[in-house]
Structure 1
Amino acid sequence: MSGAAGRARAGFGGFAVAFGLCALVGVLMAANAALHQPEAPPPHDYSAQLAALEMTDPFPVYAPAGLGPEWRPTASRVEGEGEAVTWRLGFATPQLEHASVWQAGTAAEELVAERLAEPRPDGELNLGGEPWTRYLSGDGQRRALAREAEGVTLVVEGTASLDELAELAGSLRPHSG
């Protein structure tokens, strides 16, 4: 075949093959994405840090109580010693965001300033009859809730929504092992 009719048929055939290949690549990419959805990390056992803090008794120790299984503890770390102890307990939230509980014997503003860049107060929230101060980082990417209770400062912070941070903060209870 020669001329415009031949080029038209060859052009359409080439177009059909290219379109088919693009569609196949799209289907394969969608299948790959479905197989590689982010998963919550395996749960971290923080009982050793909790027991150690209770034995050294630097401050009353609070731990989450009654969170559902979709809340996954991911990390726990105790830093410092004596009066300068800080305990961090990290979680993957039900929405696979990050939330951490920080406990220390320091002032709330100081602990919040260590956790958030350029924190600014953003109102108050009452959880279980306890007032928590809301904070927002300067870039608006992180939130925190903070309160001082019985010689300990509690800060719940992360990239999680305010609702998820409030759920975690509201679950904190004095722990006695």
Structure 2
Amino acid sequence: MEAAQPADRVPTDATPPDGQPPVRTTAGPTPQAGEPALVESAGAAPLADSGEPARHPAAPAGGARARSERSPKDMALSLLVLLVPIALLLAFYRGFLGGEEPTTVDPTTAVEQAREEAAFPVSQPEGLGSDWRTVSARYRAEPGGATLRIGYLTPEGRGAQLVESNVPADKLLPAELSGGQPQGPAALPGGSWQRYTARSNEHALVLLEPTRTVIVIGDAGENELRELATALR
């Protein structure tokens, strides 16, 4: 005897509460032994016509794509926009506020202090042009001796310094010239000046006297150093 085949759909009548019409429901086919039950999950992705889940196009990453599409030209223009205000501020500072002008000082106080203490004869340049600018001046007395230093900015924009001291020459010269060596006499009025090498790219003119040592040193050219040494009175 053959087994009875189940019907595809078996209508059933559910008994409703009193006073309401019966509700007709349709049950799905009963799975045979060995076959998995088909369960439709709530919230499952809808199927496309082909039977595959419908795919939604992913939203483009707008920020990442915009950054990746910036060309070197765009980046250069952005940088230029930032640099232009800075350049304008620098131009205003230099042109109207004197940003490139050095700060000058009056050496009178330091020179007078050195002369009052009379630790050594004090000389001061006279007759230098207005394009020689004094940028520093200091007198300092220590147990080993006293020293007067006056710094200048030369007409060519170089640095020069006048050093007058009664510190013993064998201690003063190595400290001031960084071990510089004499290079022969310098034909200058007012004493027996010697040319010396100095630290880095500097040169020096040295006047050795019994009571003091005078040094003119700097990265200025030799002509400007000679002009400063000749102007001492």
Q: Larger C-alpha radius of gyration, 1 or 2?
A: 2
Higher strand share: 1
Q: TM-score, normalised by structure 1?
A: 0.72
Report whether the alignment pairs 1:48 with 2:48.
no
Q: Deviations for 1:100-135, whole angstroms, at most 9, x for unmatched residues?
A: 111111344432211222312122102115221111
Is this contact kept in 2: 1:44–1:74, CA < 8 A? yes
Deviates more, 1:123-132 or 1:74-83: 74-83
Measured in 2, the distance between the counterparts of 1:129 and 1:77 equals: 24
Structure 1 counterpart SS, 2:187: strand
Is this contact kept in 2: 1:112–1:144, CA < 8 A? no
Measured in 1, the distance between the counterparts of 2:186 and 2:141 equals: 30
**Given the alignment, which residue of 149, 164, 173 partners 2:209?**
149
Flag the 1:162–1:84 CA change in 2: closer, same or farther, 3 A.
Answer: same
Aligned to 2:50: none
Counterpart of 1:87, as a letter, is: L
Is this contact kept in 1: 2:113–2:139, CA < 8 A? no
Larger RCO (alpha carbons 8 Å, 6+ apart): 1
Give how far 1:154 is off: 0.4
Report whether the alignment pairs 1:67 with 2:128.
yes
Structure 2 counterpart SS, 1:80: strand
Aligned to 2:157: 96
Report whether the alignment pairs 1:80 with 2:136.
no
Residue segments in structure 2 that go unaligned for 5+ positions in a row = 1-72
Q: TM-score, normalised by structure 2?
A: 0.56
Measured in 2, the distance between the counterparts of 1:150 and 1:64 equals: 21
| Equivalenced residues, count | 160
Higher helix share: 1
4+ runs deviating over 4 angstroms: 35-38
RMSD: 3.4
Flag the 1:129–1:154 CA change in 2: closer, same or farther, 3 A.
Answer: closer
Is this contact kept in 1: 2:125–2:231, CA < 8 A? yes
Among the aligned pairs, what percent are the same residue? 31
**Given the alignment, which residue of 219, 222, 229 partners 1:159?**
219
